[in-house]
Amino acid sequence: MRAKQLGIPLGTLVNAFLRDLGQTGEVHFTIAEPITPKMAKIIDEMRAEIVNGDTYGPFNIDEAEAFLDDIPYEPDNKN
């Protein structure tokens, strides 16, 4: 997203970035990508599973490890 789209002058954003960098010594980058139709479908399916109670867990760590150990391992031979 461009500074103009945010309604904030670019100089203001740069100054805020530099001030934060000077104060914290850290740089943070975030890129928000739009949700694709495929991802939206997956999210909808997951929400439906939760509503229907078709989920696993909650687990403590021992239960989670046992659950994962019971899943058959099938190596992906697609090279």
The string of pLDDT tens digits covering residues 5-25 is: 778 888 888 898 899 999 999
Report the percentage of the chain scoring pLDDT > 90: 33
Q: Are 16 and 9 in contact (CB under 8 A)?
A: no
Q: CA–CA separation, 46 vs 38, rounded Å? A: 12
b/e string for 14-36 if b means 16 or more Cβ within 10 A?
Answer: eeeeeeeeeeeeeeeeeeeeeee
- pLDDT band at residue 1 under the 50/70/90 scheme: low
Token pair in block for residue 77? 């031979």
The string of pLDDT tens digits covering residues 27-36 is: 887 777 788 9
Chain center to CA of 74: 26
Query: What is the 8-class DSSP label of residue 70?
Result: T
